[in-house]
Amino acid sequence: MTDVNAVIFGASGLELTEAERAFYRDANPWGFILFARNISADAEQIKRLVADMRDSVGRNAPVLIDQEGGRVQRIREPLCPRYPSGRDLGDIWRQDPARGVRAAWLMSRLHAFDLLKLGINVDCLPVLDVPVEGANDVIGNRAYGKNPEIVTQMGRAAADGLKAGGMLPVMKHMPGHGRAFADSHHDLPVVDTPLDELRAHDFPPFKALTGEVMGMSAHVVFTAIDPENPATTSRKVIEEIIRGEFGFDGLLLSDDSSMNALKGTLGERARAIASNGCDVVLHCNGAMQEMLDVIAQVKPIAGKTKERADRAMAAFTAPDDSNEAELRAEFAALLPSA
């Protein structure tokens, strides 16, 4: 068995190909991530795929998904209900903060019921970005609101709900994607906001949740910190802001390395990510040639990254004894007020 490598990979379809099995066995990624192309209406298909991923590396590797609710929800009916967006939950908070916080916790706890039975144990949630007026809709209604206090309270509740259900959260996108005026899936957003304004508006939710064991970087340039490089590949942003100012010592995952905000070949992107402070390179689209380019540049998990990865794996706990039917009824009763 080769060393575990500091990368998370996706897969191309509903089941692993023989080429993927062989590649994962040799590449030994730290974890895997699922997207809509990997999901059918058949729960057994998802369970088989997840089990095959883990079997390919011979261990209980983390399996991630973006299951936020709203438009970013990879698993939908009939396997689980269509959940509201972050903004919908924020609307409850704006009417009654206590009810809003409870709704955020409940939705995450219900995500855990949905996902853990399929073998998925990490949800890339909460979204801690705080949008500004006129920003690109790449975050949009995924955010709980435009006030850092709302986002902090709701994000903490969402993270706690996942952990109560035996899953781990990944807070995103550090140090903040809410001010981006371009969609980082297609272009590189550049934010020219002064640092004191970022500290007042964009950074507080991440600082408040700095004790979480995993976070995800933003493909966004902050000219007040590093005018040349997006946060994902900026040693200055990662060391001075995320590690230093925020005090975050959890496992830092890159956002998807195949997004076009990043320049260069996939190998060049992976090298830039791995060499500038991100712990783990995320590559999502399952394209074999790209994965080959990425694995050639990533390193085995070692040193501080290994400490952080081990801490993340040790953070998994058994789910609480919540009654699923009761929580679903409580959640449904909260929604009409939104």
- Other C-beta atoms within 10 Å of 86: how many? 30
Annotated active-site residue 185? The verdict is: yes
Strands (E) in 136-230, as ranges, are: 168-169, 171-174, 190-191, 214-217, 221-222
**Can you read off the two tokens belonging to residue 36?**
């809509």
Strands (E) in the chain, as ranges, are: 5-9, 29-34, 63-65, 67-69, 72-73, 122-123, 168-169, 171-174, 190-191, 214-217, 221-222, 251-256, 280-283
299: three-class secondary structure by DSSP:
coil
Omega of the bond leading into 194 within 30 degrees of 0 (cis): no
**Sequence-distant contacts of 322-325: CB under 8 A, at least 24 apart:** 322/109, 322/164, 322/165, 324/110, 324/113
HSE, CB side, 13 Å, CA atoms: give it for residue 81: 13
Of the residues 255, 256, 279, 293, only one is catalytic, namely 255
Rg (the chain; Cα; Å) = 19
Q: What are phi and psi of 156, to 5 degrees?
A: -65, -40
- In whole angstroms, give the CA distance from residue 240 to residue 276: 12
C-beta separation of 232 from 218 below 8 A: yes
Of the residues 3, 42, 96, 185, only one is catalytic, namely 185
DSSP characters over 17-58: -HHHHHHHHHH-EEEEEE-GGG--S-HHHHHHHHHHHHHHHT
257: three-class secondary structure by DSSP:
coil
Residues designated catalytic? 185, 255
